[in-house]
Structure 1
Amino acid sequence: MTDLIRAWERIEAWLREHQCTSALSSLHPPASEEAVQSLQDALAYPLHPDLLQWLSIHGGAPLYRAPVWPGGHVPYDVDVLAGGPEYMEEMLEEFSEQRAEDPEHWAQDPWADPLWLPVAGTNTGESLLVDHRPGDTYGSVIEVDYEGNEVTAVRWRSLGEMVRLMAESLESGLPMPYSNQYVRVPRLDEGPPRSLDWKLEKVENQG
């Protein structure tokens, strides 16, 4: 059993203990070997091991019905994951068009890459992506908010690290690392239905 799988078991145990099972019950069962192979065949690069481990636990969820990851992100199911490369291509085209309109004043880094795979999204348009580029960034989890000031930002070094930090935060009640300026703090929303929310809070006493 891998560290990611163990950490997710701790998360599910916490959610059940605190009666936050609505989103949890919406998650799909493990993705079948056939579904994972079909996904792999649709990609031009091998899936990151952490993502394969996640799919062995849950094959995603219905869009926007299981916000179990920080920031209200819902993990995509296998069919949506397979459309990631096409979506990245569309976003790169949009980026290139906007940069071409005003190249002298364009300072933003690209907000898409052929080796970024969208793995989760929110109902307000933010996405989490796993970086499949070789090198130091390989496996990192990137948050993309096309309407935000910080369009792309690396949040965690890997999907496994994200899940481990979630488990540690839930069990300790301490904030979950998120950025240099903010943390995610687990809070219970009494609902109904009872649910878990990861509140965004500014880091105090910086410097």
Structure 2
Amino acid sequence: MDDLICAWERIETWLREHQCTDALAELHPPASEEAIQSLQEAIPYPLHPHLVQWLRIHGGAPLYDAPIWPGGYVPYDVEVLKGGPEYMDEMLDEFSEQRDEDPEHWILDPWADPLWLPIAGTNTGESLLVDHRPGDSYGNIIEIDYEGNEVTAVRWKDLGEMIRLMAESLESGFPMPYSRQYSRVPQLDEGPPSYLNWKLEKIQD
């Protein structure tokens, strides 16, 4: 987990060096241990350690004022995270209802799971989640876009990998892995004010 801390420090260094501090300034300070414990008590399964480590760096951000992660994602604060299980229950009910209406022709994978925890969102409705199911998928970062062709997709192995790849991409200028067809390319808009945009770019064959 020290790798996650070091990688985020590299990201913050890059943002400051390039005067991209508006979104950075909106991030909350570290969540207190009391707040993290309160969150754990509200979640019916042990929180992934990378998420706990992230909260000890920044306790989220106001919705939706700090689009600092690729895709314009804003990390949720502790109070929003607490509502994750209830939101997943609602989405799972919605999925079940729609599937039951036309079971013979239903081909979509479930877009909710009791052990998925939403950790970030965009102002257009997409979400990032941490998979807390045991096994090979544990810790996976899943993107959910209810309006997209690919409703659910695993983007990164875990939160630590996502942040490490962000740091490497910013420092090298190379694309950040995102999917089989697309990458995220860091793009500096010098404004003013300057800000970082992770452009979605199709991978060339």
Alignment TM-score > 0.5, same fold: yes
Q: Which runs of 5+ in 1 are unaligned?
A: none
SS in 2 for 1:31: coil
CA deviations 1:32-85 (Å, max 9, x no partner) are: 011100000001110001001100000000001000000000000000000000
1:51 corresponds in structure 2 to 51
Q: How many residues align?
A: 205
Instruction: Give distance in 2, aligned partners of 1:64 and 1:188.
Output: 20
Q: Which runs of 5+ in 2 are unaligned?
A: none
1:201 corresponds in structure 2 to 201
Give the 5 Å matches for 1:1-207: 2-205=2-205
CA deviations 1:16-36 (Å, max 9, x no partner) are: 000000000000000001110
Q: TM-score by structure 1 length?
A: 0.98
Cα deviation for residue 192 of structure 1 reads 2.9
Q: TM-score by structure 2 length?
A: 0.99
Cα deviation for residue 191 of structure 1 reads 2.5
CA deviations 1:128-175 (Å, max 9, x no partner) are: 000000000000000000000000000000000000000000000000
Which residue type is aligned with residue 183 of structure 1? Answer: S
Cα RMSD of the aligned pairs, angstroms, is 0.7
Cα deviation for residue 189 of structure 1 reads 1.4
Cα deviation for residue 190 of structure 1 reads 2.1
SS in 2 for 1:71: coil
Which residue type is aligned with residue 127 of structure 2? Answer: S
SS in 2 for 1:68: coil
Identical aligned residues as a percent:
80
Which residue type is aligned with residue 10 of structure 1? Answer: R
Which residue type is aligned with residue 174 of structure 2? Answer: L
